[in-house]
Structure 1
Amino acid sequence: MPPSRKKILCVGLGRFVKHPPGFVSPFGTPQEIIKKVDGDLKNCDEAGFDCYHYEMNPEDLEATLRGLEEKIQTQHWDAISIGFGIRGMPMHTVLFERTIDVCRRVASVVPWCFSDGPSGNLDAFRRACPEM
């Protein structure tokens, strides 16, 4: 019998992704990144992962963190994935720290996973859920 599907909360910038002036992403423009993530998440779905998105708005930090806490509490999660856009840009260091704090307080037993870019989600999910 195949393993049951896994529920992954994918925390990222989504529509709030912005590159500061002069910043060159190794992954492309915001539009290219979103396209890569969407394609990768299709592969994740086919591999048995149900991805639920939560978009972090760095310009409304307190509200976005409250919303994340509420989202985490809505159901059981097999893993929480925190996107590279939150982790990899110095301008989002505080957002990353506060995101980790919310996850640690609200879902301390849920594994975290981190991709190495917009096409690395499936590998990250498999590391967090090795039975898949």
Structure 2
Amino acid sequence: MSHKNSQVKAPLNNDVLAIGISPEAFTPEELASMDLTAEKLAARIEGGWAAIEATGIVGEMCGVSKDPDEAEAEIRRRFAERSFGLATIGSGVRLVPENTVLFERIVNVLVDLQPGIRLSFVTGPENMLEAIRRWLDR
């Protein structure tokens, strides 16, 4: 599935900001419930990003805290350095009910900083490239 037939305008540029909760922000108990360690999660994220970079897509990984204020500050710092046409938001942010305020804050900060930014949602590091291509390959 893609957005090829959408009347929504394409991203302003092809630079991607991939936002997700930093592996270090999870407690050992949270990671254990997912059968992960911080190191295993970091390796999955790095592997997903390496696959993206191998295609020539330009962008940055943006690991954030679960604290909405800290996450907002990190995202604002990234946008102070450059603009992004597309942001992906990871499943740890959007699918965990306790992170609803964090998810809302991230979406609203992105829209505030870059009107016209396109958002794409991932279910795990392994499908980040697919999520990005839904907007860039149109």
- Normalised to the residue count of structure 2, the TM-score between the two structures is 0.76
Secondary structure of 1:121's partner?
helix
Q: Is the 8 A contact 1:18 1:30 kept in 2?
A: yes
**Unpaired runs of 5+ in structure 1?**
none
Q: Letter of the aligned partner of 2:96 in structure 1?
A: M
Q: Secondary structure at the match of 2:44?
A: helix
Q: Which amino acid aligns with 1:84?
A: S
Deviation at 1:20, TM superposition (A): 7.1
What is the identity, as a one-letter code, of the residue corresponding to 1:97? E
Distance in 1 separating the partners of 2:120 and 2:79? 15
| Number of corresponding residues | 125
Residue of structure 2 in register with 1:37 after alignment: 45
> How big is the alpha-carbon RMSD for the aligned residues of Structure 1 and Structure 2?
2.4
Q: What is the SS of the residue equivalent to 2:99? A: helix
1:123 aligns to what? 130
Structure 2: state its 5+ residue gaps.
1-12
For 1:90-109, what aligned pairs fall within 5 Å after superposition?
90-109=97-116
Match for 2:14 among 6, 9, 15?
A: 6
Q: Is the 8 A contact 1:11 1:83 kept in 2?
A: yes
Identity %: 20
Q: Cα 1:64–1:116, aligned 2, differ >3 Å: closer, same or farther?
A: closer
Q: How many Å separate the matches in 1 of 2:112 and 2:75?
A: 12
Q: CA deviation at 1:100?
A: 0.8
Counterpart code for 1:47 = T
